[in-house]
Amino acid sequence: MWTANFEDGTSVNSKQKFWTQLPRDKKLSGLQLSHPLIPKMYLCLSGYDLYHFVQEAIAFLENPAPNVVAEIIGAHDCKLGVVVEVRLEYTGNVKITTYPVSKFKYSPEILYEGKTVEGRTPRPSVSVAPAESAA
């Protein structure tokens, strides 16, 4: 599940809207991805110029309904000309990839403008919330 955080402090997640329904008049301050079966693990991107989200799915001949196998959040650093993608498979595997903007293979319509922070070097991060103590 993705969560889009906006510069005004509000947020929207994939249970509330489709990615393409996000407001275009607000800049994203960050984007995070979480796994439904791995609670308290968050994969985050923040401080980038542009953001995107895609689902990777496969379909089989005997069952043409697509089966989602991974969710991907991505961010563009326009100054460096690179895209950083965080791929979270439903098995729990995580892969972080960086590649040149020229290799971006998705429609530009899925890109949302981000709020960059002057002097800050954007980086992907993985955070795991501490386990709640048993009372």
pLDDT at 128: 56
pLDDT at 7: 92
**Per-chain mean pLDDT for the chain:** 85
Burial class (CB in 10 A: 0-12, 13-18, 19+), 98: exposed
pLDDT at 134: 36
pLDDT at 63: 77
pTM of the predicted model as reported, rounded to 2 decimal places: 0.83
Is 28 in contact with 56 (CB distance < 8 Å)? no
Buried/exposed 119-132: b ≥16 CB within 10 Å, e otherwise: eeebebeeeeeeee
**For tokens 């979480």, what's the residue?**
34
Rounded to an integer, what distance in angstroms lies between the CA atom of residue 13 and that of residue 49? 20
Is 16 in contact with 32 (CB distance < 8 Å)? no
- In the chain, domain spans: 2-128
pLDDT band for position 15 (cuts 50, 70, 90): very high
Q: What residues have CB less than 8 Å from 4, skipping those under 6 apart?
A: 11, 12, 13, 22, 28, 31, 51, 112
The amino acid at 25: D
Tens of pLDDT, residues 77-134: 988 899 999 999 988 888 999 999 999 998 888 999 998 766 666 666 656 554 443 3
